[in-house]
C-alpha cells in the first residue's frame, strides 16, 4: 500500500480526511479534474496549483493512444512528462473503450476493440491495463472492470459483476509497483443491491488500498443513484478512501459526501465551460444569454478566482463559444468553483459545521425551497436535517 | 504588439500578457465593431475597461479587414462599401465612421482609414489609393473628437513606387500627426522591395515621432526594420504559427509536430526563461500541438514571450551601445552557415550595421 488515509473529522457518515499519496498529501472530500491526455483543457500547471487542485485524472485509453505508454515510461512517467508535481490517478482504459468504440466487445479475456489508429483488432486485458498504468506511474491506478450502463437490465449485470471480481485478482497479480501505486477496486452490480453487496464483500476481501463505486452517472434516475452510493459507503471499510466515479454535479458531490464518499471526477465542469456555462452557488450562469451582454458583474461576486477578479460577464459573453479564450477562462472559474466546494466540504466537516454548510448550499441552489425529493431522502439517510431548506 | 483581434490574445490571460512583458496590444476595429460592437464597448467604459487591460491599446481602422475579408467590398471616395456579414445589408465605412468607432473603443493609438492596396498590384490604382489616403486623413482629423486622449496615426501608402511614397510621406508630415505608420507592406511583395520602402519612409519621416510598420512580422524582418529606424510592429504570425505547432527560437523555427520531437526532453528553447520553457518539454508539446487547444495556448505563450524578449533586446542593445553586436549575434544564430539572405545584407549596408562576419565568403 502506498497511501495513508486519516479521518480528521466526521458528521454521521460524512468524513473529512487526509489522504497521503506518494506525490501529494490531499484533503478529502476532493474533486479531480479530468486531464484526459495529460492536460486539463485550458489551464497550465501553475494555474491548476493556483486554484488548489490536488489530484488530476488521466485517461489511460487516450494516453496509450497518444503519446503511448512506452514513451511516457521512457520519459520517466506521466508526472515528469506533464511536469505535474502533485497527485495523479489513471483509470483502466476500459470505460472509454466501451463508450467510445462501438465495435468493442467484452469477453472473459478482456475488452476487444478496433484500434482507432489502424482498425487492427486489439485486446485490452486486465494484465495489459495494469501494465500500461504501471508505466504511466500515477499515484492511484484503477482495476479493469466489466462496466455496464445502469440503464441496462438482465443477466448481463450479474455477469459483469462477477467478472469484475475475477478480473481484480488478475489486476492484483499483474501489478508490479504496489509500493508506489495504489490499485483501487471498483464496485459494480448495476442498481441491484444484492449484486452490489456481493461485489463489495469480494473486493473488501482483497484488502485493497481504496475502493471506487463504479457504473453510476450513466443515466440512471437520481433516486437509484443515491441508494447505490449509500449502500456501498455503508459497507466499504471506514479507513480507506471511497471514490464515486463520474460524479459530477456540485449537488451530487454534496449528497455523496454526506453519505460518506471521499473522491470524485467528472468532465462536467470543463465541458460545460466550453458551452459558456459557469458554475455558481445559485446553480448555473449561462454566459451566452443576451442578458449577460452588458452585465458588468464577475461570474460570481463571492468567488476570488483569477477570472472573477479580472473579467466581467459582459466580456465573457462576448467570447464564449466564439473564442477559445472563453472556454479557457470559464474552465478556470468552474474548476476553481469545484476546488472551493471540495475545500468547503472538508473544512466544514473538520470544524463541526457540516449540516450548516449543507443547509446553506441547498438554500442558495433552491431559494424557493423546491429541493428534489431524492436529495431529501438521501439527507435523511445521511442524518442531516434539511427541513428548514424545504418549502412547507 | 500582439494582435488581440477581438479583445483577447488567443490563449493568454491578462496576467500572462503582463508576465511576458507585453506593453501594447492591437485590437481590430472591424471585429470589435461586429462583436460586441462599439456602442456596447462605449457603454461599458471603453475597451480597456471591457477587457480589463491595464496597459496600452492600439486599434486599426477596420479598412484592411474589410478589404481582405469581404470579397464584395468596394472602395469609393466616400469610404469602403461592403456587405455586412451578419445580414448581408450594404454598409459603408467612412473615415468619419472609422474614427467615431475608434473614439468609442478608446485605444491609446488609433489608425486613420487609408485606401490600402496590395503591393502585388500594379497600375494607376496605387496612385489613386495614395492620393485618396491623403484626402481621407483630413477627414479623419476632422472627425477625431478625442485628440487629448487618443493619438491618431497616419498611414503612408504608395505601393512600391518611391515617388508615390515620397508624396504620401510629405503630405502626412504636413498634417503634424502624433505618429506615422508605413502601410501596404507585408502583403506578398519581394523582400528586396519591402526593405527599400521601409528605408525610404523611415529616412523621410520625422525623427521625433514613432514609426509603425504595419503587419510585420517575422523576427528577422523586425530586426532589419529596427536597424532602418522603425519603432513599432504588429503581426498575427507568432500566435498563428503557434496554432500550427511552430515555435519561434533563436535558430529560426522549431516544428513541434516533427516526429523527432516525440521524445525530446528539452524545452522549446534552452535560452528562454518563459513559463512554458521552464515547465514543459518538446516531447509533451509535440503530443498536444494541433490536437489539444492547450498546445496552441502554450506555444502561443512561448512565441509571444520570444517576441517580447526580442523587442526588449533590441531596445536594450541600442541603449547600451551594443546594437551591431546584437544584430550579428541574431543573424549568426539564424544563419549558422553564413547564408544570410542578400536582401538582409543590402538593408544592413544601408543601416550601417557591419555583418560581414556573419556572411559566408562568396565562393566563385
Task: Please give chain B's pLDDT, 364 residues, in tens.
Answer: 999 877 788 789 999 999 999 999 999 888 888 888 899 999 999 999 999 999 999 999 988 877 777 666 789 999 998 877 777 788 889 999 999 999 999 999 999 999 988 888 888 999 999 999 999 999 999 999 999 999 999 999 999 999 999 999 999 999 999 999 999 998 889 999 999 999 999 999 999 999 999 999 899 999 999 999 999 999 999 999 999 999 999 999 999 999 999 999 999 999 999 999 999 999 999 999 988 889 999 999 999 999 999 999 999 999 999 999 999 999 999 999 999 999 999 999 999 999 999 888 755 4
- Chosen for mutation from B292, B296, B301 (greatest number of chain A CBs closer than 10 Å) is B292
Q: Quick one: which of B203, B349, B202, B122 has its CA closest to B216?
A: B202
In this complex, is the C-beta atom of B243 within 8 Å of any C-beta atom belonging to chain A? no
In this complex, is the C-beta atom of B245 within 8 Å of any C-beta atom belonging to chain A? no
What is the pLDDT, as a whole number, of residue A84? 94
C-alpha cell at A310: 479580472
Q: Quick one: which of A201, A182, A212 has its CA closest to A4?
A: A182
- Rounded to 5 degrees, what angle do the CA atoms A210, A211, A213 make? 160
Q: Which residues of A are annotated as catalytic? A: 91, 265
Model confidence band, residue A99 (pLDDT cutoffs 50, 70, 90): confident
Task: Give the C-alpha separation, B184 to B162, whole Å.
Answer: 13
Answer whether B106's CB lies under 8 Å from B119's CB.
no
Model confidence band, residue A121 (pLDDT cutoffs 50, 70, 90): confident
In this complex, is the C-beta atom of B100 within 8 Å of any C-beta atom belonging to chain A? no
User: Closest partner residue to B8 among A67, A75, A319, by Cβ?
Assistant: A319
In this complex, is the C-beta atom of B275 within 8 Å of any C-beta atom belonging to chain A? yes
Radius of gyration of chain B (CA): 21
CATH 3.20.20.105 describes domain A4-266: yes
Q: How far B92 CA sits from the closest chain A CA (Å)?
A: 24
CB contact under 8 A, B294 and A323: no
What is the pLDDT, as a whole number, of residue B72? 67
- Chosen for mutation from B46, B297, B298, B300 (greatest number of chain A CBs closer than 10 Å) is B297
User: Closest partner residue to B284 among A38, A306, A310, by Cβ?
Assistant: A38
Answer whether A52's CB lies under 8 Å from A339's CB.
yes
User: Closest partner residue to B8 among A41, A306, A323, by Cβ?
Assistant: A323
CB contact under 8 A, A314 and B44: yes
Q: Which of B87, B234, B269, B354 is catalytic?
A: B234
Answer whether B306's CB lies under 8 Å from B238's CB.
yes
Radius of gyration of chain A (CA): 21
Task: Give the C-alpha separation, A295 to A317, whole Å.
Answer: 9
Task: Give the C-alpha separation, A243 to A382, whole Å.
Answer: 17
* Beta-carbon contacts of residue A312 (< 8 Å; ≥ 6 apart): A295, A296, A297, A298, B44, B50, B52
Task: Give the C-alpha separation, B297 to A323, whole Å.
Answer: 12
Report residue B90: phi and psi, to 5°: -70, 135
Answer whether B137's CB lies under 8 Å from B103's CB.
no
Q: Quick one: which of A371, A341, A359, A354 has its CA closest to A11?
A: A354
CB contact under 8 A, A46 and B292: no
Q: With the C-alpha atoms ordered A200, A205, A211, A215, is the resulting torsion angle positive or negative?
A: negative
The neighbour count for residue A284, using CB atoms within 10 Å, is 13
Q: What share of chain B is helix, strand, coil (3-state, %, to 5)?
A: 50, 15, 40
Q: Which of B60, B114, B115, B221 is catalytic?
A: B60
Given a cut of 80, is residue A175 above it in pLDDT?
yes
Question: Structural domain boundaries of chain A?
Answer: 4-266, 273-389
The secondary structure of residue A34, as a DSSP letter, is B
Contacts of B35 in chain A (CB under 8 A): 318, 322
pTM, entire model: 0.88
- Write out residues 78-97 of A within 8 Å (CB-CB) of B: 81-83
* Beta-carbon contacts of residue B199 (< 8 Å; ≥ 6 apart): B228, B347, B350, B351
Count of alpha carbons within 13 angstroms of residue B212, beta-carbon side: 26
Three-class SS of residue B342? helix
C-alpha cell at B303: 512565441
What is the pLDDT, as a whole number, of residue A313? 97
* Beta-carbon contacts of residue A210 (< 8 Å; ≥ 6 apart): A3, A5, A140, A182, A184, A240, A241, A242, A243
If you measure CA to CA, which chain A residue comes closest to B294?
Answer: A42
pLDDT tens, position by position, A349-370: 999 999 999 999 999 999 999 9
If you measure CA to CA, which chain A residue comes closest to B9?
Answer: A325
Q: What is chain A's length?
A: 392
In this complex, is the C-beta atom of A75 within 8 Å of any C-beta atom belonging to chain B? yes
Report residue A76: phi and psi, to 5°: 95, 15
Provide the percentage of residues in chain A whose pLDDT is more than 90. Answer: 82
Is residue B138 annotated as a catalytic residue, yes or no? Answer: no
Task: Give the C-alpha separation, B235 to B239, whole Å.
Answer: 9
Task: Give the C-alpha separation, B94 to B191, whole Å.
Answer: 32
What is the pLDDT, as a whole number, of residue A112? 87
User: Closest partner residue to A325 among B11, B263, B283, by Cβ?
Assistant: B11
CB contact under 8 A, B293 and A327: yes
Q: How far is CA B250 from CA A253, B217, B336, in A?
A: 49, 15, 11
- Write out residues 49-68 of B within 8 Å (CB-CB) of A: 50-52
Amino acid at each position: 500500500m502506498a497511501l495513508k488515509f486519516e479521518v480528521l473529522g466526521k458528521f454521521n457518515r460524512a468524513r473529512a480526511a487526509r489522504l497521503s499519496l506518494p506525490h501529494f498529501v490531499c484533503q478529502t472530500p476532493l474533486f479531480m479534474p479530468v486531464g484526459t491526455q495529460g492536460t486539463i483543457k485550458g489551464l497550465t500547471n501553475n494555474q491548476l496549483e493556483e486554484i488548489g487542485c490536488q489530484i488530476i485524472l488521466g485517461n489511460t485509453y487516450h494516453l496509450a493512444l497518444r503519446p503511448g505508454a512506452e514513451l511516457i515510461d521512457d520519459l520517466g512517467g506521466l508526472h515528469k512528462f506533464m511536469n505535474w508535481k502533485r497527485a495523479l490517478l489513471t483509470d483502466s482504459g476500459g470505460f472509454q473503450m466501451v463508450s467510445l468504440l462501438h465495435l468493442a466487445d467484452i469477453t472473459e479475456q478482456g475488452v476487444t476493440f478496433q484500434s482507432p489508429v489502424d482498425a487492427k483488432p486489439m485486446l485490452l486485458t486486465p494484465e495489459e491495463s495494469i501494465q500500461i498504468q504501471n508505466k504511466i506511474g500515477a499515484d492511484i491506478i484503477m482495476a479493469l472492470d466489466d462496466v455496464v450502463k445502469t440503464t441496462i437490465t438482465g443477466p448481463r449485470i450479474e455477469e459483469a459483476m462477477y467478472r469484475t471480481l475475477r478480473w481484480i485478482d488478475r489486476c492484483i497479480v499483474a501489478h508490479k509497483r504496489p509500493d508506489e501505486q495504489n490499485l483501487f477496486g471498483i464496485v459494480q452490480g448495476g442498481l441491484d443491491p444484492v449484486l452490489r453487496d456481493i461485489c463489495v464483500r469480494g473486493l473488501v476481501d482483497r484488502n485493497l488500498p481504496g475502493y471506487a463505486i463504479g457504473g453510476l452517472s450513466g443515466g440512471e434516475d437520481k433516486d437509484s443513484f443515491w441508494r447505490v452510493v449509500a449502500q456501498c459507503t455503508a459497507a466499504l471499510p471506514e479507513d480507506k478512501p471511497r471514490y464515486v466515479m463520474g460524479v459530477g454535479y456540485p449537488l451530487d458531490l454534496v449528497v455523496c459526501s454526506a453519505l460518506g464518499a471521499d473522491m470524485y471526477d467528472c468532465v462536467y465542469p470543463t465541458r460545460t465551460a466550453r458551452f459558456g456555462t459557469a458554475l455558481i452557488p445559485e446553480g448555473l450562469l449561462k454566459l451566452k444569454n443576451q442578458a449577460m451582454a452588458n452585465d458588468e458583474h464577475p461570474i460570481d461576486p463571492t468567488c476570488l478566482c483569477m477570472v472573477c477578479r479580472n473579467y466581467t460577464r459582459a466580456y465573457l459573453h462576448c467570447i464564449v463559444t466564439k473564442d477559445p479564450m472563453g472556454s479557457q477562462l470559464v474552465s478556470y472559474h468552474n474548476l476553481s468553483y469545484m476546488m472551493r466546494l471540495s475545500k468547503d466540504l472538508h473544512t466544514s466537516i473538520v470544524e463541526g459545521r457540516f449540516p450548516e454548510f449543507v443547509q446553506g448550499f441547498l438554500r442558495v441552489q433552491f431559494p424557493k425551497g423546491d429541493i428534489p425529493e431524492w436529495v431529501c431522502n438521501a439527507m435523511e439517510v445521511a442524518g442531516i436535517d434539511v427541513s428548514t431548506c424545504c418549502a412547507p
